[in-house]
Amino acid sequence: NGDMEKQGGDPSGGALPSKVRKSIERKQTRKIIRKQTTKRPRNIEEPVNKPRGHVGAKAYSRCSLPYFVDVVKSTCKSKEKVQLVRGIGFGFTLEFDECVVPRPFAQWIADNVCVKDEQIVFNQKVITLNAESVSHVLGIPAGENNINITDDGGKAEFLALFGLSEVPSIKYFGNKIIKEEELSDEQYIRCYMIVMLATFLCPTSNTKPSTKYMGAFIDVSKIKDLNWCKFTHAWLMQAINKYQKEKVKQNRITLTLGGYIFHLAVHLFSCFSYGAEFEVHAHEARKRGVK
């Protein structure tokens, strides 16, 4: 993998200083996250502790960075596969290692998000959440074209490419990569993107991937032209909004907290100097049950 790292995160191959700097910043931020987190069991369903002000309720999603990391590791065994991922603008996702954000911590942040203003607000401090912040953390494509989520039309055509009529589980796509099944370049990209979205960028509480983004993978040559930062941000805001509405309902045993949870933690840490201000935040988080 040393050769891969030297190639940089720019999928076009251009060694732009800004790209290199952002890549270094991301790696440094992930080191901070790893020091604050612990590894979880390798399963896709991860419960959380009770949210503030809502006794007994637990939140779930299919967010599973460890499973996504398994897919990444399999991809990194082949320089050709690495170039496929970089070629569609998602090279930075290959840099992630097994760094799991504790669900209670992510939930604590979600409790302090003002969805209307798209901000994390606590201790009279404000941190903006937007498509640009997603780009800063991940460096994924922010193309001129928005993603069409017309659902069933794209769903049927996408599934037909795999000879399917019904949506399979997330692992149907991921295991094709992990088990190194023989796939065309286009099919490999589709499988990689589905797993990345379903377990990392845009997870839900379902064991199956969402049909809302399947249409984006019918023509893989256009993936890089789509605004994935905007799509990922919008998905996260919708997920947090749903979670917050579920929280206020009575007799809720379980909650759903989907979306790009990793972004909440990384962006929060990156907005602090890791000095006194961070210690204030860490102390407040611990009071809410975050370990």
What is this structure's pTM?
A: 0.73
φ/ψ bin of 13: left (φ > 0), alpha (ψ from -120 to 50), beta (otherwise): left
Q: How many CB atoms lie within 10 A of CB 131?
A: 17
Summarised one tens digit per residue, pLDDT across range 40-57 is 444 444 434 444 444 445
Residues 5-30: b if buried by 16+ CB within 10 A, e if exposed: eeebbbbeeeeeeebeebbeebeebb
Please give the pLDDT value at position 63. 56
Please give the pLDDT value at position 106. 80
Please give the pLDDT value at position 78. 97
Highest-confidence segment of 98-102, 201-205, 206-210: 206-210
Residue 130 vs residue 258, higher pLDDT: 130
Summarised one tens digit per residue, pLDDT across range 131-144 is 998 998 888 999 99
Look up residue 143 and give its DSSP letter: -
- Closest Cα to residue 133, out of 264, 289, 288? 264
| Virtual torsion, Cα 193, 195, 200, 202, nearest 10 deg | 70
Please give the pLDDT value at position 248. 82
Q: How many CB atoms lie within 10 A of CB 250?
A: 5
Query: Percent of the chain at pLDDT above 70?
Result: 67
Please give the pLDDT value at position 19. 61
Range of the domain at 46: 2-287
Please give the pLDDT value at position 290. 38
Task: Flag whether pLDDT at 239 surpasses 80.
Answer: yes
Cα–Cα–Cα angle for 100, 205, 195, rounded to 5 degrees: 60
Residue 2 vs residue 256, higher pLDDT: 256
What letter represents residue 1's amino acid?
Answer: N
Tell me the average pLDDT across 256-277.
70
CA dist., res. 135 & res. 131, Å (int):
6
Phi, psi of 220 (to 5 degrees): -65, -20
Tokens of 213: 């983004």
Query: What is the chain's alpha carbon radius of gyration, rounded to the nearest angstrom?
Result: 19
Please answer whether residues 234 and 210 qualify as being in contact, where contact means their C-beta atoms are separated by less than 8 angstroms.
no
- Kindly report which listed range (6-20, 119-133, 186-200, 230-244) carries the lowest average pLDDT score: 6-20
Q: How many domains does the chain have?
A: 1
Model confidence at 30, in pLDDT bands (50, 70, 90)? Answer: low
Please give the pLDDT value at position 163. 97
- Kindly report which listed range (87-91, 102-106, 135-139, 150-154) carries the lowest average pLDDT score: 150-154
- Kindly report which listed range (18-27, 154-163, 166-175) carries the lowest average pLDDT score: 18-27
Please give the pLDDT value at position 250. 62
Q: Give the list of residues 6+ apart from residue 288 with CB closer than 8 angstroms, or none.
A: 52, 104, 108, 111
Tell me the average pLDDT across 77-82.
97
